[in-house]
Chains A and B, each alone.
Chain A
Amino acid sequence: MTKQVQQLDRVIIRFAGDSGDGMQLTGDRFTAETAKFGNDLSTLPNFPAEIRAPAGTLPGVSSFQLHFADHDILTPGDAPNVLVAMNPAALKANLGDLPRGADIIANTDEFTKRNLQKVGYATNPLEDDSLAEWRVHSLPLTSLTVKALEGFAISKKDAERAKNMFALGLLSWLYHRPTEATIKFLEAKFAKKPDIAKANVAAFQAGWNYGETTESFSVSYEIKPATLAPGVYRNISGNQALAYGLIAASVQSGLPLFLGSYPITPASDILHELSKHKRFGIRTFQAEDEIAGVGAALGAAFGGALGVTTTSGPGVALKAETVGLAVATELPLIVVDVQRAGPSTGMPTKTEQTDLLMAMFGRNGESPVPVVAPATPSDCFDAAVEAARIALAYRTPVMLLSDGYLANGSEPWRVPEVSELPDISVEFTTEPNGEDGTTYLPFKRDPETLARPWAVPGTPGLEHRIGGIEKADGSGNISYDPNNHDRMVRLRQAKIDGIDVPPLEVDDEDGDARVLVLGWGSTYGPIAAAVRRVRKDGGKVAQAHLRHLNPLPANTGDVLRSYDRVLLPEINLGQLALLLRARFLVDVISYNRVRGLPFKAEELAGVIQDVINSD
């Protein structure tokens, strides 16, 4: 049988199943194959906080969405073209996102009476007319897998567990993905259990062969590689990029990296990643709590290390006092906040941009801290290097605001040459800086940057004491002098306000747009995709994206004032809007949704169009 091959420019696939079905692994492998093939891609993993929620229930559904294309894309996609539903719960939880005509690949083995009842299906949707609007491919994935693995020296349970690899094989056939890397991956992953490795490879190949022979799939699809800028690419998630950025910052600054951290979702993967790279001289310290994590990082910074702590919102709340100490002692420190839905425990695995005001103001006293936010998963690399640059050059703690969407999402990354990376090296002070030539003044500032000198223990003649008590300007001795305090408060503020940050760039194709869409952080992809849609439909709209939230680029006010309307979508209730209104008296229009999910491009395109039309 010769099968038809159809060309597509892009596809969105969502793998969905029970938490224990291996959907994240399946998605990761499909992503790796897709990256290897050369498509542009963007991913959105979505999983429950529970490690193994009760099987077959709606809260237990874990999914992985992948958008890939023959052109550059900006988001994991709004609506899947294909849903792989490993059980009734996965179908029910995701059906609402599926546009009419989309494909559903359902594992009929799991559509048992009991599993249907668990999620409230009175009848089997695969057998009644309720899915008539979609193209349903019903196949017994589990029993096909078990049958394919007959004769392998593994238990029935292990055979059943390989069903995700069968599904991966089928999807790999359907979209012409290369398979060698997955086979290699399985062999390495189960190196200590060769029977399991063989069985998984066999299941994967059986899935592929099934696609080729079954009549259930008459068409397969080709999506040509994307034409991206020349260079070497790899696929990378936000957390991995951020960890690599920190390593790069260590190399480029010449300072050993010290990470003090306490496990927290969704930031723990940065700790895991950095722990693997000890040969770079990286010390990773899993502390007894969040406070000790940042405390140890600050202690290491006092000793001349690049001190870093990684956490999420609840951890930032706990670290606040120590960050204040870093402000007062003017030591470099990087605080990574991978934001998640709050308040309190909130929804640990879901994304949000709700920590901006905490990053800005969540400390006692006048306690200014620079804030940097990456825009995409791969941008986490550059943002980490930038945060280190600011921390080291200005001797200040820096807040790096990633979020759950960036952390777990992935995209192709053009790997930079090391020579392209900025030199952020620092020189420790080794000589007295007092007028008399013998004393050391730990708070005598650089006239340009207002940064104080950094003399580390072990430097003879520069023994000095620092601390959280107010210091006399210059000498750093304890001072309760009213005028000195006023001066120091202003100096610390002026130092942060004066940080050199690049100007805000505006993408305004023809220069005649009257509406500007402004964003910060992880909303970049959906906003840019929405802007493209609006422009494609003839709409005029400009786009700008803030990477530096504190200090803001010097031209921010001018940019805002040069448009009739400024639209600001945020995954919070308007935190940046509050800052911009206060600072520039500009009546920005907020668009806010706080659903734990990224914006959809279509949704934002509609909002932009409405603002344009409201003229």
Chain B
Amino acid sequence: MTESLNGKGLALVPKTDAKQSLKDFKSDQEVRWCPGCGDYAILAAVQSFLPELGLRRENIVFVSGIGCSSRFPYYMNTYGFHSIHGRAPAIATGLAASRPDLSVWVITGDGDALSIGGNHLIHALRRNVNLNILLFNNRIYGLTKGQYSPTSEIGKITKSTPMGSLDKPFNPISLALGAEAGFVARTIDSDRKHLHSVLREAAAHRGTSLVEIYQNCNIFNDGAFDALKEPETRDEITIRLEHGQPIVFGTGENEKAVRLSPQGGVEVVRRAEVAESEILVHDAHRPDPSVAFALSRLDDPAFEHVPIGIFRSVDRPAYDTLMSEQLEQAAADKGKGQLADLLLGGDTWRIA
């Protein structure tokens, strides 16, 4: 079973013949994010993407923690669980591990997933239950009104850090790769086509997938990702990772390429100065995560160049499958459990 399910993230989820549209996935609840919030774009992208999967709507569940993004489940006409701060991966783990017939999506933010829920996130990734985790990263606390987050840049001036924040941020992609994640990707709220392509691959991956979505908070951290969106800068700094393709970016004279560095890791060089054979060809299926990790470091510390796309997509057995197999194995070895036999097991004696 383990073998055949690899690459088939939703093989156990029942399908529908009915034609679905975006409208089918809209709930009757009024969407209450701030006007102009990047969450709207992501919601619309998810709602327009789901019909493509053709799953029975009742077998889809959205689980969230706390934060602006975590209101997401209320707006989806599927099953939904808006839980508590940081704990969505844990709750979704119990649900997905006991119900392999469900397509379970975790909606979380940079504070929810990386601060208060950091422990659950890393363990969910290493454990590899069949979950899709969408991490909306706006590099700020929105719902509590504008404190710096674990992805805010050092020196961030906020209400809680009037002289600038002092702590180094997490790079969510590096963190996920370090946590043994099998599927790690990054995309942007404003690029629906790219978002769809990443969601498609994430859903197809059996096991835990982590998708970081750069999301603009237009109230407390407006323009955080503008450099990736403005036509003048966008193509100069965005590294679009595509499996099997040489990693090149930039335009005209500024065209750049990524190659393995003699010092270890990867480096960005002017394309004109490097032989084609030296350009790194992206291999998302590479079992060893070190090159993916090196690629994740390219956007550190500032937005000089930012890789987006699928960093890593490697199949390994999903926890829920293995768990089910142990149950089946135990029943096959010793027969299905019988309560009377269990209670009377061990040394007994009779009193007449």
Q: Which residues of A contact B (CB under 8 A)?
A: 32, 35-36, 38, 181, 225, 227-235, 244, 247-248, 251, 256, 258, 260, 277-283, 285, 287-289, 291-292, 295-305, 307, 321-322, 324-325, 329, 415-418, 457-469, 477-478
Interface centre among B29, B60, B77, B93 (most CB of A within 10 A): B93
Is residue B162 contacting chain A, with contact meaning CB distance below 8 A? no
Residues of chain A lying within 8 A (CB to CB) of residue B342: 244, 247, 277, 280
Of residues 299 to 352 in B, which have CB atoms within 8 Å of A's CB atoms? 323, 326-327, 329-331, 333-337, 339-340, 342-352
Asked if A181 and B347 sit within 8 Å, CB to CB, the answer is yes
Chain B residue, CB-CB nearest to A235: B347
Cα–Cα distance between A324 and B76 once the two chains are bound (Å): 24
Residue interface bits B38-74, CB-to-A below 8 A is 1, else 0: 0000000000000000001111110100100000011
Is residue B297 contacting chain A, with contact meaning CB distance below 8 A? no
Asked if A300 and B97 sit within 8 Å, CB to CB, the answer is yes
Is residue B11 contacting chain A, with contact meaning CB distance below 8 A? no
Asked if A292 and B351 sit within 8 Å, CB to CB, the answer is no
Asked if A296 and B335 sit within 8 Å, CB to CB, the answer is no
Chain A residue, CB-CB nearest to B95: A299
Known: A230-B352, A280-B337, A322-B87. A285 touches B93 (CB 8 A): yes
A-B contacts, 13 listed (Cβ < 8 Å): A228-B351, A232-B349, A234-B347, A292-B89, A296-B94, A322-B84, A329-B81, A416-B343, A460-B56, A464-B80, A466-B82, A467-B82, A468-B84
Query: Across chains A and B, which 5 residue pairs bring their CB atoms closest together, nearest first?
Result: A467-B82, A296-B94, A299-B94, A295-B90, A280-B337
Cα–Cα distance between A415 and B348 once the two chains are bound (Å): 9
Residues of chain A lying within 8 A (CB to CB) of residue B63: 299
Is residue B285 contacting chain A, with contact meaning CB distance below 8 A? no
Known: A36-B347, A38-B349. A292 touches B123 (CB 8 A): yes
Asked if A457 and B123 sit within 8 Å, CB to CB, the answer is no
Cα–Cα distance between A570 and B247 once the two chains are bound (Å): 71
Shortest CB-to-CB span from A54 to chain B, Å, is 34
Cα–Cα distance between A278 and B334 once the two chains are bound (Å): 10
Asked if A283 and B323 sit within 8 Å, CB to CB, the answer is yes
Shortest CB-to-CB span from B278 to chain A, Å, is 42
Asked if A233 and B90 sit within 8 Å, CB to CB, the answer is no
Residues of chain A lying within 8 A (CB to CB) of residue B339: 247-248, 251, 280, 418
Residues of chain A lying within 8 A (CB to CB) of residue B329: 278
Give the number of A-B contacts (CB < 8 Å).
210
Asked if A283 and B327 sit within 8 Å, CB to CB, the answer is yes
Residues of chain A lying within 8 A (CB to CB) of residue B336: 279-280
Cα–Cα distance between A299 and B339 once the two chains are bound (Å): 26
Of residues 214 to 273 in B, which have CB atoms within 8 Å of A's CB atoms? none
Is residue B79 contacting chain A, with contact meaning CB distance below 8 A? yes
Shortest CB-to-CB span from A257 to chain B, Å, is 10
Cα–Cα distance between A32 and B349 once the two chains are bound (Å): 11
Chain A residue, CB-CB nearest to B331: A279
Cα–Cα distance between A598 and B350 once the two chains are bound (Å): 30
Asked if A468 and B56 sit within 8 Å, CB to CB, the answer is no
Shortest CB-to-CB span from B70 to chain A, Å, is 9
Is residue B78 contacting chain A, with contact meaning CB distance below 8 A? yes
Asked if B95 and A303 sit within 8 Å, CB to CB, the answer is yes
Cα–Cα distance between A13 and B148 once the two chains are bound (Å): 63
Cα–Cα distance between A289 and B59 once the two chains are bound (Å): 28
Asked if A288 and B120 sit within 8 Å, CB to CB, the answer is yes
Asked if B119 and A277 sit within 8 Å, CB to CB, the answer is no
Asked if A291 and B337 sit within 8 Å, CB to CB, the answer is no
Cα–Cα distance between A45 and B351 once the two chains are bound (Å): 27
B101: contacting residue among A181, A458, A468, A469, CB under 8 A: A458
Cα–Cα distance between A321 and B84 once the two chains are bound (Å): 8
Interface centre among B74, B94, B330, B345 (most CB of A within 10 A): B94
Residues of chain B lying within 8 A (CB to CB) of residue A36: 347, 349
Asked if A260 and B82 sit within 8 Å, CB to CB, the answer is no
Asked if B94 and A460 sit within 8 Å, CB to CB, the answer is no
Asked if B94 and A465 sit within 8 Å, CB to CB, the answer is no
Asked if A278 and B326 sit within 8 Å, CB to CB, the answer is yes
B337: contacting residue among A231, A281, A301, CB under 8 A: A281
Known: A295-B91, A300-B98. A457 touches B79 (CB 8 A): yes
Chain A residue, CB-CB nearest to B57: A463
Chain A residue, CB-CB nearest to B63: A299
Residues of chain A lying within 8 A (CB to CB) of residue B27: 465
B92: contacting residue among A235, A299, A301, A463, CB under 8 A: A299
Of residues 89 to 117 in B, which have CB atoms within 8 Å of A's CB atoms? 89-99, 101-102
Shortest CB-to-CB span from B84 to chain A, Å, is 5
Asked if B344 and A457 sit within 8 Å, CB to CB, the answer is no
Asked if A463 and B97 sit within 8 Å, CB to CB, the answer is no
Asked if B77 and A468 sit within 8 Å, CB to CB, the answer is no
Known: A234-B348, A283-B323, A465-B79. A458 touches B99 (CB 8 A): yes
Known: A227-B351, A279-B337, A296-B93. A256 touches B84 (CB 8 A): no
Known: A283-B323, A299-B93. A234 touches B84 (CB 8 A): no
Asked if A325 and B344 sit within 8 Å, CB to CB, the answer is no
Shortest CB-to-CB span from A176 to chain B, Å, is 16
Cα–Cα distance between A288 and B118 once the two chains are bound (Å): 11
Cα–Cα distance between A322 and B66 once the two chains are bound (Å): 13
Residues of chain B lying within 8 A (CB to CB) of residue A325: 83-84
Asked if B343 and A244 sit within 8 Å, CB to CB, the answer is yes
Cα–Cα distance between A283 and B97 once the two chains are bound (Å): 9
Known: A244-B343, A464-B79, A466-B82. A230 touches B98 (CB 8 A): no
Asked if A277 and B337 sit within 8 Å, CB to CB, the answer is yes
Asked if B119 and A458 sit within 8 Å, CB to CB, the answer is no
Residues of chain A lying within 8 A (CB to CB) of residue B91: 295-296, 298-299, 302
Shortest CB-to-CB span from A447 to chain B, Å, is 26
Shortest CB-to-CB span from B54 to chain A, Å, is 15
Cα–Cα distance between A36 and B340 once the two chains are bound (Å): 20
Residues of chain B lying within 8 A (CB to CB) of residue A418: 339-340, 343
Cα–Cα distance between A298 and B94 once the two chains are bound (Å): 7
Residues of chain B lying within 8 A (CB to CB) of residue A228: 351
Residues of chain B lying within 8 A (CB to CB) of residue A35: 347, 349
Cα–Cα distance between A476 and B89 once the two chains are bound (Å): 23
Cα–Cα distance between A415 and B78 once the two chains are bound (Å): 45
Residues of chain B lying within 8 A (CB to CB) of residue A464: 79-80
Interface centre among B76, B102, B327, B336 (most CB of A within 10 A): B327
Chain B residue, CB-CB nearest to A309: B94
Interface centre among B73, B74, B77 (most CB of A within 10 A): B74
Asked if A285 and B343 sit within 8 Å, CB to CB, the answer is no
A305: contacting residue among B74, B80, B98, CB under 8 A: B98
Asked if B344 and A233 sit within 8 Å, CB to CB, the answer is no
Asked if B73 and A465 sit within 8 Å, CB to CB, the answer is yes
